[in-house]
Chains A and B, each alone.
Chain A
């Protein structure tokens, strides 16, 4: 089960998006209609042991200037690597990322963390510590 993922060899503490507090309500609705999504909560990861990770979909993407859905809803190429071209919005992440992965597959929880914290780290923007996203604020 233990394999050293070659792409990320640094130790990171888990982190999540820092909510920008009450600002989000005042913004006009973004172009897409996902403003009802405010947290990342995967049913597959029950029993949940931490408050859900705060993630106001539209507000975050607008703030981070993300318009290509595939940035997060990426696909999978033939040898199982991440494929940014193929857009898979709508399919649940657990389809490809099982909770306890088979060989070569990234576990679900790890995928969430790699995706969010990885991006925050590259852009040096956004929280990296646990309570940064997992807050019940």
Chain B
């Protein structure tokens, strides 16, 4: 177990980060070049200012019609994504990691806040799960890819909670937490989680199309 743990935090971590960074760069680059030589009619009209305006607008909760008309989902989405990013970067254990490995002095979340965020994130994922089953539209269109993405996204939070509540063998739980985090990193460029990479572009394109060509807000 101990050696497996050493591998998990050692070479496997480097591998996961490499796959994540190189994979994402490659996905974005190949999609951009596909756009450049197949979609010039759309790219030619691209206006970054309107693109940014749309991104900013859609990043504020309840600022668009879409968010207003699905309030619970809006709350769950923002809760999940904000806590995901905060925890991923500033969770206390992660802060130690940054410091231990790279000597980077990173601000750390107070533990109570970190636990609260983890719980919120887990509850949001639970809500997504319930919604994906109960909402007729979502059930009708869900594909295995969606379930995979949801599962992967939830695992790190659950394992983090188990470690925090010191359930079961701590070494095993920490190992599972590390492995699930690495699984998410590896999955981002290649599964439904790739929306993390492409959302800025699709959002910016729609914002520029509506702003520059159609002179009308896209929210």
Interfacial residues, chain A to chain B (CB-CB below 8 A): 1-5, 8-14, 49-50, 100, 106-107, 109-110, 113-114, 117, 121, 124, 127-132, 135
Contacts and interface: CB of A to CB of B under 8 A. Distances in A.
18 contacts: A1-B104, A2-B103, A8-B101, A11-B10, A11-B14, A12-B101, A13-B9, A13-B97, A14-B96, A49-B108, A50-B111, A100-B105, A113-B99, A114-B100, A117-B100, A121-B6, A130-B93, A131-B170
B121 interface: no
Nearest to B103: A5
A107 B99 contact: yes
B110 interface: yes
A130 B173 CA distance: 11
B13 A11 contact: yes
Given A9-B101, A10-B101, 11 more contacts: A1-B104, A2-B102, A12-B100, A13-B97, A14-B100, A113-B100, A117-B100, A121-B6, A128-B5, A131-B163, A131-B166
Nearest to B110: A49
Nearest to B13: A11
Contact of A5 (B102, B110, B171): B102
- What interface size band does chain B fall in? 20 to 34
B175 to A, nearest CB: 7
Interface string B1-27: 011011001100110000000000000
Contacts of A49: 92, 108, 110-111
A129 B96 contact: no
A50 B108 CA distance: 13
A9 B108 CA distance: 21
Contact of B96 (A9, A106, A113, A121): A113
B14 A129 contact: no
A4 B110 contact: no
Contacts of B96: 14, 109, 113, 130
B100 A110 contact: yes
A8, A11, A13, A127: which has the most chain B beta carbons within 10 Å? A13
Given A11-B14, A13-B93, A135-B170, A128 B9 contact: yes
A128 B3 CA distance: 10
A102 B66 CA distance: 50
A36 B103 CA distance: 32
Contacts of A124: 2-3, 6
Interface in B85-126: 92-93, 96-97, 99-105, 108, 110-111
B3 A2 contact: no
B102 A129 contact: no
B174 interface: yes
Given A49-B92, A109-B96, A130 B102 contact: no
B178 interface: yes
Contact of A130 (B6, B101, B174): B174
B93 A14 contact: yes
B101 to A, nearest CB: 4
B5 A129 contact: yes
A57 to B, nearest CB: 23
B166 A3 contact: no
